[in-house]
Chain A
Amino acid sequence: MKKKRVAIFSLTCCAGCQLEVLDNPELLDMLEHIDIVKFPIAIARNEPGPYDIVFVEGMVTTPGEIEIVKRIRGSARFLIAIGACACYGGVPTIRNMLPQREAESIVYGDRNEHIRSIKPTGVSEYVKADYLIHGCPINKDEFSQVVKALLAGKLPRAHTHSVCVECKAKGNKCLFNEQICMGPISIAGCGATCPSNGLACYSCRGPKEDANVDEFIILARKQGYLDAEIRGLLQKFACTSKYKKYLECLDGEK
């Protein structure tokens, strides 16, 4: 069977998700079924499309990057966003909540005319992504599962449960009342890495589909968190996700 033609594109990011792909223990096995023709951090090859599968890491934060994702979409059978940046813009979306004038005065001052920067978002703002692999960074096992599903010619099934389920499955001590854990509203797939290491989940993966954010806010208020603090909890890695409408409501001190 002919190998699938795979490309990895990297937009503005820390390149960590590319490194997670490079570090995947199953990469050499995968190479028996896929031909990676573009992988900037690892190989010199840089072939143009069409591609069977494209993995995109990084946020869209320049006009040039909008053109790149549109071009990729046109040349890829499957476009998979990898990592928090490609899914929801990543941690720099924290600044998206600032009114534009205020953001400009802090960050641009009176110089930097050559900086062409737009509010960072994930790729889905501009093109349809066939699947999102969440997390900062992505989880190696999850990446492997996605590749296997695609090799079988289908899209992987998205997780419908929360990080809580993975945490309970590991028998972890629940941190919700100690450190206000975002596990209950965050999409599963990481194996509850942070709570397993004694740190409450901070939702680098973003919300699960039917996350009960309203209830999370009520419980956080009961624990004594001010609305400005609750906004801080939701305003981290996935500010352009469905958390966005809550960030707008929680504006202002209460």
Chain B
Amino acid sequence: MAVIKLDHITKIEGHGSLIAKVENGFVSEVEMRAEEGVRFFEAFVRGRKFHEVPILTSPICGICSQAHVLASISAIERAIGVEPSQQTKEMRELLNIGQYIQSHNIHAHFLALPDYLGYGDAIQMMDKHGDAVRRALKFKRWASSFCTLMGGRDMHPVAAQVGGFTHFPDKRRLSEMLKLLKELRPEAMKVAELFGSLQYPKFKRKKPYGSLSADKGYPLISGDITIGSMTFKPHEYKDYIVESIKPYSPSKYSLFKGESYFVGALARVNNNLPRLSDNAKVAISHSEINFPNDNTFANNFAQAIEIVHCVDRAIEILENANFKKEPWDLKKIKVNDGRGVGTAEAPRGTLYHDYTIRKGLVESANIITPTVQNLNCIEDDVKAFLPGILEKDEKTVTMELEKLVRAFDPCCSCSVHFMKI
């Protein structure tokens, strides 16, 4: 029996390791382990005031902190009976888009791309692929400034709160950001072109794809949930998604009706293809990669497509935006008892926050992160993919497996947050 071990995989968020056991050319066991310590978020938010939850749950993740803030705010508002204004919804959508452009850009260029160009990291790529790296840096700078403008800080945003925003972007800064974004639009098409033409490993495995779904618009914050061919409401998630614990990892692993499933850009594009922006559709048509697609590696291209879509959507909102000061006053928020489930599509997949509030305090909490939902899928994908590359040398096998794990854009910190009674 041979054991293939990828210990503390680099260029993923958090600490993850992969172990695969191979007997007679057959993959008998695969373990995708998060190697983090447990942080017990759902335990320590108990007894906290309802308005503290976004600040306390934002640090579940550094790269998708905006998603945690938006999902927790949505859940708390549903629990206590607060309806955000239309302007607040638009500002939250912009904050989310800023996060997408930041996160997808970092993952695509800095974490994934080096593998396909034969480098250890993006900095080493500067000589021969300076254009791609400099383009990535331009997007990163824009996204970081935009997230700071909309959220008060580029990570762990503070301006977005239950009930509204504590700060409103300066009109002149907004038009500057809009102008810069319009200049970046053709660059986004180049990013899509790059990722649409990379030589991805040939791989195909049918699986259910999970994401938000809606009749109008490409949903990134709210909507129904679609997994495979089923659609349900967010508050029904426990009827469909079951989390379990495995002895080899402190993270949770979830299944959809007993089956592993995929969440992330590929799932969103597969499920919501007609609702992408026109330019995003054009970018897809220029590539040989089609959607719906069952090749996990196409998730990298799907992220590039979403960068194009998000640029278009942000320009659309910003061109018509006229944000007025809507003062936020914690004391004026009327707080009922109740339970609420909030969602957000984090860049790497559907995120659920579920809170029960009693007398203004958190009575109980449950959080399901995208990577918890993808861990079983990683294991099943590796089981299907590995036999086809076993005859290659060890270095190649390692590299191809790392590419597969990285294609999920896993967030190991997110997957280990939990508490279980």
Contact = CB atoms under 8 A, between A and B. Distances in A.
A61 B123 contact: no
B367 to A, nearest CB: 13
A14 B120 contact: no
B330 interface: yes
Contacts of A196: 152, 167
A92 B413 contact: no
A107 interface: yes
Interface string B89-105: 00000000000000000
A250 interface: no
Given A198-B166, A232-B52, A193 B37 contact: no
B122 A112 contact: no
Nearest to B120: A44
Contacts of A115: 38, 250
B158 A194 contact: yes
Contacts of A109: 420-421
Interface in B52-79: 52, 55-56, 59-63, 65
A155 to B, nearest CB: 26
B48 interface: yes
A42 B11 contact: yes
B37 A59 contact: yes
Interface string A183-226: 00000000001101111001010000000000000000000000
Contacts of A22: 106, 110
A120 B37 contact: yes
Nearest to B141: A25
A13 interface: yes
Given A40-B8, A65-B37, A15 B158 contact: no
Contact of B120 (A18, A31, A43): A43
B245 interface: yes
Contacts of A84: 59
A198 B59 contact: no
Most B CB contacts (10 A, CB to CB) among A18, A59, A84, A199 go to: A199
Given A15-B413, A91-B59, A95-B43, A117 B38 contact: yes
A23 B110 CA distance: 11
Nearest to B119: A44
A241 interface: no
Nearest to B161: A199
A94 B413 CA distance: 18
Contacts of A74: none
A75 interface: no
Interface in A94-118: 94-95, 103, 106-107, 109, 111-112, 114-115, 117
B37 A107 contact: no
Interface string A223-241: 0000000001000100000
A12 interface: yes
Contact of A15 (B44, B63, B153): B63
A41 interface: yes
Interface string A5-20: 0000011111111111
B156 interface: yes
A15 B14 contact: yes
A244 to B, nearest CB: 16
Nearest to B126: A28
A106 B158 contact: no
Nearest to B35: A64
Nearest to A40: B10
B121 interface: yes
A102 to B, nearest CB: 10
A135 to B, nearest CB: 9
Interface in B129-177: 140-141, 144, 152-156, 158-159, 161, 165-167
A40 B15 CA distance: 9
Contact of A44 (B11, B41, B55): B11
A39 to B, nearest CB: 8
A133 interface: no
A247 interface: no
Of residues A16, A17, A111, which shows the largest number of chain B Cβ atoms within 10 Å of its Cβ? A16
Contact of B39 (A28, A61, A112): A61
Nearest to B330: A179
Given A14-B59, A14-B62, A137-B62, A114 B247 contact: yes
Given A19-B155, A137-B153, A198-B166, 9 more contacts: A12-B36, A12-B413, A15-B61, A41-B12, A45-B120, A106-B46, A111-B245, A194-B153, A198-B159
Interface of A: 10-20, 22-23, 25, 28, 31, 40-46, 59, 61-62, 65, 84-85, 90-92, 94-95, 103, 106-107, 109, 111-112, 114-115, 117, 120, 136-137, 179, 193-194, 196-199, 202, 204, 232, 236
25 contacts: A10-B15, A12-B36, A15-B61, A15-B63, A16-B65, A28-B123, A42-B121, A44-B11, A45-B121, A85-B59, A94-B56, A95-B43, A103-B43, A106-B421, A107-B38, A111-B245, A112-B245, A115-B250, A117-B38, A137-B153, A194-B153, A198-B152, A204-B156, A232-B48, A236-B52
Interface of B: 8, 10-15, 36-41, 43-44, 46, 48-49, 52, 55-56, 59-63, 65, 106, 110-111, 114, 120-123, 140-141, 144, 152-156, 158-159, 161, 165-167, 245, 247-248, 250, 328, 330, 413, 416, 419-421
Please give me the 9 A-B residue pairs with the lowest Cβ-Cβ distance, nearest first: A16-B62, A198-B166, A197-B152, A12-B37, A61-B37, A44-B120, A43-B121, A197-B167, A94-B44
